[in-house]
Structure 1
C-alpha cells in the first residue's frame, strides 16, 4: 500500500512540476534544512542563548571567527549580552517558525469555517461575515496585530504577558490573516454548492455541517493550501516586524526579529554581524517559502497545465 501511494506521488503532475524546476527544488531543500536546524537546535547549538546563566558580558561583541579577535567558540560572533549568534539564530529561527506556523493554522481554520458558512448558508450569515471582512481589509495587517497585542498587553501585568507573549502573537497575526482564506473559500463554495454531488447530499437528508465539511471542503482546499504557503512567509515577516518594534516575543526568548532589533542599535558602531546574520537568515527563509508558494500556485492552476 505504501509503495503504491509512493508510486502514485512520483507519477503525479505535481511531482513532475516540482522536479523540473531546479529553483523550486533548491528552495525546498533550503526550507527543509532551516526547519530541521530549528527542530534540532538544542543538539547542534554551542550554548543555550535563552539561559541567562550561560551568558557572560566579558564575551559580548566578539567578532566572527574570520575577523581578528574572533574565536571558534563563537564562530559567528556574539551580541551585546555575550550571546553566541550562531546559537541565537537557531533558537530564534525556532520561535519565528513556531509563531508563523501556528498563526497560519489558526487563520486557515478560522477562515475556512467562516468562508464555508458564508458561501453555503448565504443570507444574513454571508452579509455579516463579508462586511466584517471588508472592514478589516481597510486596515493594514500589521496595524490589526499591533492593536490586538496592545489590548492584551494593557489588561495583563508584564510578567503575565511575557508568559503568553507567543500565544498573543499567534492570535494577533492569525486574526489579521483570516480574511484571505474566508473570501477564497466563500468564492469556491458558491461554485461547489450548486453542483450535483451537493444536491444529491441534500436530497438524502445530510445536515448542512456534514455537507460543508465532508463534501465541499475537500474540493476547495487547493487554493487554501496555496494561500497558507504564501501566508507563512507573511506571518514570519509580521512576527519579525512586531518583534523589531519591541511588541513581539520577550527579549529572554528572542526570535529572528528580536535579534535584528538588537543588532540594529550596533550596526553603525562596527558590530555589523549582530544584525547581518539574523537578517540574512530571515531573508533566505522568506525567499525560499515564497518560491515554494509561487510554485504551488502555478502547479495547482489547471489553466497552466
Structure 2
C-alpha cells in the first residue's frame, strides 16, 4: 500500500536568512537600484567612520598644542613643491597637520549636526504631536509661533540665539560652552519643519480606527501619541532629519566661518575654512581647499541620501 502523497502546501519551507529577507526589502532594493545613491551611501559611511576613528587614523592630535610646532607652519602638501613627507595635506599657520585637523574637524561638524537634528527634532515632533492631537487654542498658539519663525532665515535665528547665549554666558568659559550653544542655536532654528509635518500627519492619524479603539480601551492621550501615532508619522520625519543634517552642518560651518562658532582650538570644518581663507591669497591654498572639499562632499552625499529616502518613502512614486 503506497503512502499518501504529501501536499506541497503542507511542506514547511525553511526559515529564510536575514540576508534573504533583507534582499527582498523594498527600501533596500530601491537603494541598490541607484548607483548614485549607493555611492553617496558609501561616501557618507566612509566619512562617518573616519570621524569616529579619527584618534586612530590621524597622525597627530590637532587639539593638543604639544604635538604642533610653529616651525612646521604653512608647510605645503606632500605632493606639492616644498612639501614634507610627514604632512600629507600640509599644515596650517599653527603647524597643525591638515589631514589630522580635517579628521577631527569632520568629527566635530558631524556631532554638531547630529545633536542639532536630534534636539530640533525632539522639540518639533513633540509640539507637532500635541498641536495635531489636541487642536483648538493650543494648536493655534504653536502654529502661530512656527509661522513667525518661518519669516526669518535659519542662519539669522542661529546667529541671534548664539549672540544671546554668549551674552548670558559671558562669565563662563567660551570654549567650554561653544559646542552646546551651537547645538541649541541650530536645533531651535529647524524645529518648525518637524512640527508642521508631524502636526499634519497627526491630524490624519488621530481619526483612524486604531486610534479610536485605543481611546475606547481607556489609553491615555500620551500613550496613544507615543505608542500608536508616533510610529506612523516617522516616515516624513526621517526624510526631514536627513536633509536637515546637511543643513545643520552647513549652518555650523557658516557660523564658524563668521567667527561665532567653535574657537580655533577646537576646529570644525567651518573653523578650518575660516582660518584658511585668511591665507588663500598669500599662496597657502591647501589650508582652505581641503576642508572645503570635505565639507562639500559630505553635504552632497547626505543630500543625495535625503533625496533617495524622500522618493523611497513616497507612496505616490511606487
User: So what's the TM-score if we normalise by structure 1?
Assistant: 0.97
Query: 2:296 matched to which residue of 1?
Result: 283
User: What per-residue deviation string (whole Å, max 9, x for no partner) do you get for residues 149-182 of structure 1?
Assistant: 1011112236523201101100000000000000
1:202 aligns with 2:215: yes
SS in 2 for 1:69: coil
Residue among 36, 42, 46 paired with 1:33 = 46
User: What per-residue deviation string (whole Å, max 9, x for no partner) do you get for residues 73-92 of structure 1?
Assistant: 11101111111100000000
What is the alpha-carbon distance in structure 2 between the residues aligned to residue 85 and residue 181 of structure 1? 37
Query: 1:169 matched to which residue of 2?
Result: 182
Query: 1:100 matched to which residue of 2?
Result: 113
Q: 1:270 and 1:144, CA in 2 relative to 1: closer, same or farther beyond 3 A?
A: same
Moved more, 150-159 or 58-67: 150-159
RMSD over equivalenced CA pairs, Å: 1.2
Alignment of 1:215-234 (within 5 A): 215-234=228-247
Q: 1:166 and 1:64, CA in 2 relative to 1: closer, same or farther beyond 3 A?
A: same
SS in 1 for 2:173: helix
Residue among 261, 270, 273 paired with 2:286 = 273
Query: 1:128 matched to which residue of 2?
Result: 141
Structure (1 or 2) with the larger CA radius of gyration: 2
Runs of 4+ in 1 over 6 A off after TM superposition: none
Contiguous gaps of at least 5 residues in structure 1: none
What is the alpha-carbon distance in structure 2 between the residues aligned to residue 242 and residue 194 of structure 1? 43
User: So what's the TM-score if we normalise by structure 2?
Assistant: 0.94
What is the alpha-carbon distance in structure 2 between the residues aligned to residue 232 and residue 203 of structure 1? 40
What is the alpha-carbon distance in structure 1 between the residues aligned to residue 16 and residue 91 of structure 2? 48
1:22 aligns with 2:55: no
**1:224 deviation in Å?**
0.3
**1:7 deviation in Å?**
3.2
Query: 1:73 matched to which residue of 2?
Result: 86
What is the alpha-carbon distance in structure 2 between the residues aligned to residue 161 and residue 114 of structure 1? 31
Query: 2:316 matched to which residue of 1?
Result: 303
Query: 1:189 matched to which residue of 2?
Result: 202
Tell me which protein shows more helix as a share of its residues.
Answer: 1
What is the alpha-carbon distance in structure 1 between the residues aligned to residue 277 and residue 120 of structure 2? 31
**1:255 deviation in Å?**
0.0
1:151 aligns with 2:171: no
What is the alpha-carbon distance in structure 1 between the residues aligned to residue 200 and residue 164 of structure 2? 33
**1:3 deviation in Å?**
6.7
Count of paired positions: 304
What is the alpha-carbon distance in structure 2 between the residues aligned to residue 157 and residue 135 of structure 1? 28
What is the alpha-carbon distance in structure 2 between the residues aligned to residue 235 and residue 7 of structure 1? 36
What is the alpha-carbon distance in structure 2 between the residues aligned to residue 77 and residue 100 of structure 1? 27
